[in-house]
Amino acid sequence: MTSGGPVGGQVAVDQLLEVLDLTQTDEMTFRGMSPPVGPQRVYGGQVAGQALVAAGRTVDPTRVVHSLHGYFVRPGDPVEPIDYQVERIRDGRSFSVRRSVARQHGKTIFFMSASFQRTEEGLDHQAPVPPDVPGPDEVPTMAGRLARYPERLGIWSLIPRPIDVRYVGEPGWVRPGDRPADPYQRVWMRIDGKLPDDPLLHACALTYASDLTLLDSVLSVHGEVWGPGGVVGASLDHALWFHRPFRADEWFLYDCWSPSASGARGLATGRMFTVDGRQIASSVQEGLLRRVGA
């Protein structure tokens, strides 16, 4: 790490663990904080991850999360605490369902429904792994890519990076004209350090990561980029399904593509595969996308 640069590695991972370690204020209410350095609004993956932490702490730990569906209602204020109110919707023989609502300044900024299931056996199949994708050690590191575009960094040069992100193609934040159109946005990811063994924590870390590059796939179809000369956007909703056990601190391929964009909105879908080819999760997100200055 260079002097004055972003915090990475285990230090950044430990900071992420602090962000996900909510304070319980009563039986069904929790409070979370944002990192001390960050953008003007709370990162969507953070509030989704914290909402899942809150929901999961009210569920029997033998039941693991298998799906979540959330809506981003208002931008979050990074300097203010976020309060999470959990509602116990149902506890059945096999499933537990929770609703987790994030509030700031007396207003809802995000809400999520999450479902947890006891371990069961059943049918098992998955989609094939994308062919001919280079491995994480065969593509540039984030530091290598960022070095080419210092003028595009802004506040992002200061934000801790707990996730090792390695793009197979060009990222969405390169200069306008430097990104060829591509129907896919593929990225290798892993938490850039060691996580405890708690499966809920790995699910929350994956939720945090899942919001990072998903909407990039909408821009990728058109060879568009984020920021000056391109597009600004925000997540509108987010859904995630967990299929198989995994560790978020081990490499997984995030294979994303966009089936549709219209009306200043773009739909993105993603699949996550381990290095040995197991599909561990699927995601869907819609985002608001507008031309800079529009």
149/40 Cα distance (integer angstroms): 21
The DSSP letter of residue 50 is H
Q: Say what the alpha-carbon torsion angle 189, 166, 239, 55 is, to the nearest 10 degrees.
A: 40
Does residue 216 register a pLDDT over 80? yes
pLDDT digits (tens, 9 = 90+) for 34-57: 987 666 789 999 999 999 999 999
Neighbouring-strand partners of residue 253: 188, 273
pLDDT digits (tens, 9 = 90+) for 162-175: 999 999 999 998 88
Q: What is the pTM of this model?
A: 0.93
Q: Which residues are catalytic?
A: 211, 235, 285
Does residue 2 register a pLDDT over 50? no
- Does residue 97 contact residue 235 with C-beta atoms inside 8 Å? no
* Non-local CB neighbours of 122 within 8 Å, separated by 6+ positions: none
In the chain, what are the domains? 9-118+134-291 (2.40.160.210)
235/289 Cα distance (integer angstroms): 9
Q: List strand residue ranges (DSSP E) for 137-243, in order.
A: 163-167, 184-191, 231-242
Look at the block and give the residue holding tokens 């708690």. Answer: 198
227/233 Cα distance (integer angstroms): 9
Does residue 7 register a pLDDT over 80? no
